[in-house]
Amino acid sequence: MPPRTRDPSSDPFREASPDASAGGAEPRRVLSGELIELLAAQLGTDAILTDPSETFVYENDGSILHPAAPSAVVFPRSTEDVGHVVRTCTAFDVPYVARGAGTGLSGGAMALDGGVVVALNRMDRILDVDVFNRRLTAQPGVTNLALSRAVAEHDLYYAPDPSSQAVCTIGGNVAHNSGGPHTLKYGVTVNHVVGLELVLPDGSIVNVGGSERGGYDLLALLTGSEGTLGIVTAVTVRLLRKPEAVRTLLAAFATPLQASRAVSAIIAAGIVPAALEMLDAEVVAALEAAFGFRFPTGAGALLVVESDGPREGIDEEAETIAALCRDHEAIHVRLAADEAERNEVWKARKQAFGALGRVAPNYCTQDGVIPRTRLPEILERIAEIGERHQLRVANVFHAGDGNLHPCILFDERDQDQARRVVTAGAEILRACVELGGSLSGEHGIGVEKREWMAAMFAEQDLALMERLRNAFDPRRLCNPLKILPTGGRCVELAPSRRQAAL
């Protein structure tokens, strides 16, 4: 078999640069009255939006750079409802896309073909809690944090914890294989999902995983497929017992370079913390300004390091981590004295993105991954890219597993600035790939990064992905124009109706 190779003459980052003539949000389709009547017969008229004044809020998800106007938004309450929507859309050759809380950051929940948004917010029930087997089954609209709250009285919890966990949904977590600060030790969503119920593009309802094992690992295939292979209508997750003891440490450094070296030293010492997070000076300043947090003077970077496990040995591990931070020039190291202080540390970490919203009108969050030994290099390159494009970049990320979240601050009303943001974002992702990393750790490819997939995968690899997708969805109605390259523009930058109203 010939080796898989990429075309060295092509540059997907340059070829997918934004088109200055982009025409704003993708056009709406005009749905037939018959289709609307069929949907209403199953869902009820109160579960369908078609007026542009109501549907325009669904033109964007958490990323604002690629608006797309849906022709309708529907709100199913059951698996049967979803099946009816899929079969009806298919009969009329209308594309559709599932949407949860809309917190996604790659444009994955946008109706790029002007189709129907299937909003799963009303499917928000926990269906079953099996304490003995440590399993929980929920509809896709249940929030991530609600899973842990539902079993807290049993001393159990659900481990993946995205920063948006108070609002993001388990269905969206499955779609993007989300992680969070505790990914380093506990893994991402796919490591905790044991069963899925979903509606396939032909309208049939299937169950994958559960107590059955053997055969192809469809759970791994579907988790992270960004809703392109079907719509998940129920998720069964694995629950964990809360650890006996937790120690949370905050270390301040004068520079991100020193903090990066401390990260490598901790891992090199054979320690795998539950979490190992980094915040740079831009984020520190934003947290202080927005929420009144107080951090050590001169902090150019902060590390949040958490250890958990049996009580025996937990204090020794925390002391070793503190010593390693001091060895790498930490200017301040503090161990949280109690649960209240620990919660305050995590409150600061979880509110980092919200704090940036107080600093600039908008920010674009990238999601590249690099080997953690290359952290110093990538941070230097990110700083250089920001300076060259005259853009401020704030960094808050999962340092332990090299999953970066550089936030490029800008104002969407300034079209030149928005174009520079897209170019800078492409250069950051290019740097991640060049350093041996990847385009995404947990935010997904969606529309934002689809044209850059050729930077990571050979033509044969992408062709195989096309064949796999066609096996599930030969008519390409299920979240079309996502993940795989189309050869077109990667984003749209003209003002949406929301922008025009500003």
pLDDT of residue 13: 75
Q: What is the pLDDT of residues 245-287, one digit of tens each?
A: 999 999 999 999 999 999 999 999 999 999 999 999 999 999 9
pLDDT of residue 82: 98
Cβ atoms of 363 and 432 closer than 8 Å: no
Q: Token digits for 43?
A: 């869902």
Q: What is the pLDDT of residues 288-335, one digit of tens each?
A: 999 999 999 999 999 999 999 999 999 999 999 999 999 999 999 999
Cβ atoms of 406 and 394 closer than 8 Å: yes
Q: At what angle do helices 256-268 and 375-388 cross, to 10 degrees?
A: 160
Cα of 476 vs its chain's centroid, Å: 23
Mean pLDDT of the chain: 91
Cβ atoms of 199 and 82 closer than 8 Å: yes
In the chain, where the domains are located: 126-241, 245-356, 362-456
Coil, strand or helix at 48: strand
Q: What's the rounded Cα separation, in Å, for the pair 434 and 482?
A: 24
Least Cα distance to 483 among 452, 458, 459, 461 occurs for 452
Coil, strand or helix at 324: helix
For the cut 60, the answer to whether the pLDDT of residue 495 exceeds it is no
Q: Which residues pair with 119 in a beta bridge?
A: 99
For the cut 90, the answer to whether the pLDDT of residue 429 exceeds it is yes
Q: What is the pLDDT of residues 139-172, one digit of tens each?
A: 999 999 999 999 999 999 999 999 899 999 999 9
Domain 126-241, second-level architecture: 2-Layer Sandwich (3.30)
Instruction: Map 402-444 to HEC letters.
Output: CECCEEEEECCCCHHHHHHHHHHHHHHHHHHHHCCCECCCCCC
- Asked whether the domain spanning 245-356 has the same topology as the one spanning 126-241, the reply is no
- The burial of 200, by beta-carbon neighbours within 10 Å (0-12 exposed, 13-18 middle, 19 or more buried), is given as middle
Q: What is the pLDDT of residues 211-226, one digit of tens each?
A: 656 788 999 999 999 9
Domain 362-456 sits in CATH at: 3.30.70.2740
pLDDT of residue 500: 36
Q: Maximum distance among all alpha carbons in the chain? A: 71
Cβ atoms of 159 and 182 closer than 8 Å: yes
Which amino acid appears at position 256 of this protein? Answer: P
Domain 245-356 sits in CATH at: 3.30.70.2190
Q: What is the pLDDT of residues 5-29, one digit of tens each?
A: 556 556 777 655 444 333 345 556 7
Q: Token digits for 237?
A: 């997750």
Q: Which residue has the tokens 């509110």?
A: 351
